[in-house]
Amino acid sequence: MDQIAPERLPRHIAIIMDGNGRWAQKRALPRSMGHRAGVEALRKVVKTCSTLGIKVLTVYAFSTENWSRPKDEVGVLMTLLTEYLKKELQELHQNNVVIRAIGGIVDLPREAQRELENSIKRTSNNTGLILNLALNYGGRSEIINAVRTVCKDVLSGKQQIEAIDEEQFSNALFTRGLPDPDLMIRTSGEMRLSNFLLWQLAYTEIVVIEDLWPDFGEKTLIDAIKTYQKRDRRFGGIHTD
């Protein structure tokens, strides 16, 4: 951990937690066990981010496309979410973590919504790590949703078309108020965005890791941050020094 430069920590880390199914398959276990092990990995990563002083951690827990999985698997993922919130809330709260969510939350099962609302409310005055759960989330649908919001403001006369800018548009996204991710990590070696934070990742450094998500731990996270710190971020410009 002491090899990380504290002044160049990523403020916001986003993670595509991929490979739970393959992890289970390699061990001849049901996919549900892979997701269970995935929750355990998430628990550890939240702790490490909190200790390191990362401001925001956004995790892709359920995408708009994940509804197309077998009903049982969707059920397992929703149950794990509810269980995670029930079991971890106390500790997350004690660790000053703020829970937030992005995505179509109203379409989640009622029980999951209830736990989520409760966790968000309970932790809303905390000042530590923001744990942002992407649930029933899709980048394209988020952008369309934001376009609708802006159009309504134009129609009601609240917004001038010419005055629409990137900052205002960002404020119509679910991630309103959060900095864009500095670092996006994807596990299991896949080189895709999979509809994750399409607007917000414009200038994000991407680190793809071969490990499957359940094998991800403190060391892997620290290695990814070290890789990020070696990158030369130019945001489309050039260095003049």
Q: Which of 45, 57, 133, 225 binds ligand FPP (CB under 6 A)?
A: 133
Residue tagged active-site, from 66, 95, 118, 126: 66
Distance of CA 26 to the CA centre of its chain: 26
State the nearest-atom distance from the C-beta of 112 to ligand FPP, in Å.
10
CB 193 within 8 A of CB 139: yes
CB 111 within 8 A of CB 86: no
Q: Which of 13, 46, 61, 146 binds ligand FPP (CB under 6 A)?
A: 61
Residue 237 buriedness (CB in 10 A; 0-12 / 13-18 / 19+):
exposed
Residue 197 buriedness (CB in 10 A; 0-12 / 13-18 / 19+):
buried
- Count the residues of the shown chain that bind ligand FPP, applying the rule CB under 6 A: 18
Residues 6+ apart with CB under 8 A from 214: 19, 20, 23, 34, 37, 38, 40, 41
- For ligand FPP, which is the closer residue by CB, 99 or 150? 99
CB 54 within 8 A of CB 10: yes
Rg (CA), the chain: 18
Q: Residue 102 interacts with ligand FPP (CB under 6 A)?
A: no
Kindly write out the interface string for residues 169-198 of this chain, putting x where it contacts ligand FPP by CB under 6 A and - elsewhere.
------------------------------
Residue at shortest CB range from ligand FPP: 21
| Annotation says 18 is catalytic | yes
DSSP letter (8 states) at residue 215 = G
Residue range at the interface with ligand FPP (CB under 6 A); choices 16-24, 49-57, 165-173, 197-205: 16-24
| Annotation says 126 is catalytic | no
- For ligand FPP, which is the closer residue by CB, 133 or 146? 133
State the nearest-atom distance from the C-beta of 50 to ligand FPP, in Å.
16
Q: Applying CB under 6 A, which residues contact ligand FPP?
A: 17-22, 35, 38-39, 42, 61, 66, 77, 80-81, 84, 133, 213
> Would you name the residues annotated as active-site residues?
18, 66
